[in-house]
Amino acid sequence: MIARRHFHCVVFVAAGLYNIVWGLYAVIDPQWLFRFARMPHQNYPQIFACLGMVLGLYGALYLEVARVPERGWMIAAVGLTGKVFGPIGLARLIWSGIWPVRTGILCVTNDLIWWIPFGLYLYDAWPVFRRKQQPA
């Protein structure tokens, strides 16, 4: 049994639902970020819509972690990796002046708020994950 199991289930249900809703909204209105950041609209909004689809699929995976947290270590590790590298890429765009600071809202809501709960889950789930990886 994983430590803080109930807490982790709640976190991953929240992350799953958030990603699904965010993904659906990005598919329905792929220009929202560009309006919000006062940037010119994209020539190819399908790219942002595709990003929404991918994030929505991550939501389904996070719901699976919530369903069986003892088996979700790898999914959460991949998710947290994206939540670390995404802000690095966005920081580069902002630092170079390609994108405005207002686009940072993406990282606050999609990435930064999840670092601690995902990291705590990975810490708590690591012993369970290691036991399952050892040959019998």
Residue 55 makes CB contacts below 8 A (sequence gap 6+) with 19, 22, 23, 26, 110
How many domains does the chain contain in total?
1
Instruction: State what percent of residues in the chain have pLDDT above 70.
Output: 93
Which residue range is the domain that position 94 belongs to? Answer: 5-133
Tokens coding 43: 């020539």
pLDDT by residue (tens digit) across 77-124? 999 999 999 999 999 999 999 999 999 999 999 999 999 999 999 999
For the entire predicted model, the pTM comes to 0.89
